[in-house]
Amino acid sequence: MDHAVDDFVREITPRLQAWRRDLHKFAESGWLEFRTATLVAEELHCLGYSLQLGKEVIDAESRMGLPSAEVLAQQEQRAIEQGALPQWLPHFSGGFCGIVATLKTDRPGPVMAFRVDMDALDMSERLAQDHRPFAEGFASCNVGMMHACGHDGHTSIGIGMAHVLKQFESRLCGTIKLIFQPAEEGTRGAKSMVAAGVLDDVDFFTASHLGLGIPAGELICGCDSFLATTKLDVTFRGVASHAGARPEEGKNALLAAAQATLALHTLPQHSAGSSRINVGVLQGGSGRNVVADHALMKVETRGATNEINDFIYQQALQVLAGAATMYGVQHEVRLMGAARSSQPTQPWVNYIRQQARQIPELTSLVDSKEQAAGSEDATYMMERVKEMGGQASYLIFGTELSAGHHNEKFDFNEEVIAIAVKTLVTLACNIQHFRKE
């Protein structure tokens, strides 16, 4: 390990913790990261990075699961009251909370990109003394928004990297891009940054996550277990009528949704690999004596490959249309999120493993590992880089957790932030040693 880098990371470690705890306290859900984005922009601007912000790095038409204009305006005001920096806020207004910070060394070399995600989950944090963030005064003050997946740590890693890379800029070559992405939860944000061309010039791409059940000291150098997924909201609209006096005049949207729910969970599996489908929310109707004229379903499909997920998704669309026809109601499908499956490129994984050997805190280095299957929209970025001839991988830094991800008591050992910063900076500093094997 480079002792100068190690010493500098140790020097800024208290600030890494302070950044993480501030972001945790003021958690902001996807497309609503107004305060977070302004603070990140200010920090990187002061360091001398070239910034692209908001609509420069987010394609408006490619955003998925965007809150209503009313919610966006309310949350922007909330962010102002909580310390969002007014000089940066216009760039992010309307939910365009993305940042790309670029460091050009003016020395020959590749373009390297590192993605970190900034958003919290739509859930409330446990407010009790047995939960460290509450006991130590940094639990989320925003009801219904909590960093229960570690993205506060990810954002702090990105800021920490910016400081270290700038400190050791003379050792770098080529161009470094730090991508701060909104709305990863629900797999909503990455596609819009890809559509804006953010990844089109990237030679080497790395995304990372902390936790995910990986033990402390272990690094997954090339996670390949993310499932492709599609998230959709389905609205059924029928005709209301009196359930006792005139039931024949009604068109029951709730029955259509219920029929669709049962049918979706009987869809056939795929012989080429695992698939998933789930109806997580079913809401409808207005009263016990009224034929329900509306119903809402929140549905997701997943597949081990893009092809499997696409198969299940198309089957689901047929089921939804059939249920609507059966009960004579209208239906509308709205895409709320999506992610692809993506395999890391092995030469880049090999390089990551080689460089990670220099980090003494990493005692176990593995290319991939069987684990609980979830989804991650950085796969859109990985696929775009690979499509353009580049290399990509996804890292997981193991750490101790107080509870599992997406749990109201989630917390992690903050020492992993510094470990991740050192590891990722090492990749950038030694890129001249990469060999395409």
How many CB atoms sit inside 10 A of residue 162's CB?
A: 25
Across the strands, what pairs with 278?
300
Show the CA angle centred on residue 414, arms to residues 32 and 352, nearest 5°.
90
CA dist., res. 36 & res. 182, Å (int): 10
CATH class of the domain defined by 3-226+342-433: alpha beta
The DSSP secondary-structure symbol of 247 reads: G
Instruction: Give the closest residue to 254 by CA, choosing from 234, 274, 272, 268.
Output: 234
Tokens of 82: 């909580």
CA proximity to 158, closest of 190, 113, 194: 113
State pLDDT tens for residues 290-301. 999 999 999 999
> Mapping DSSP to helix (H, G, I), strand (E, B) and coil, where does residue 53 land?
strand
Residues of the chain with pLDDT under 70: 1, 371-373, 437
Write the DSSP symbol of residue 413.
-
Locate the domains of the chain by residue range: 3-226+342-433, 228-339
| Measured distance CA(320)–CA(333) in Å, rounded | 9
CATH of 228-339, one of 3.30.70.360, 3.40.30.10, 3.10.20.30, 3.40.50.300: 3.30.70.360
Distance CA 150, CA 20 (A): 9
Backbone angles phi, psi at 148, to 5 degrees: -105, 15
Q: β-pairing, 111-117 with 175-181?
A: parallel
Beta bridge partners of 391: 204
What pLDDT digit, counting tens, does each position of 371-391 carry? 656 889 999 999 999 999 999
Backbone angles phi, psi at 91, to 5 degrees: -65, -30
Q: Sheet containing 228-237: which strands, arranged edge to edge?
A: 275-284, 294-303, 228-237, 330-339
Report the alpha-carbon angle 309-272-212, nearest 5.
60
pLDDT recorded at residue 189: 96
Q: How far apart are CA 142 and CA 148, in angstroms?
A: 13
Give the pLDDT score at 373: 61
Amino acid 338: pLDDT? 94
What is the DSSP secondary structure assignment for residue 409, as one 8-state letter?
T
392 Cβ partners below 8 Å, 6+ apart? Answer: 204, 205, 206, 207, 342, 344, 345, 348, 381, 382, 383, 385, 386
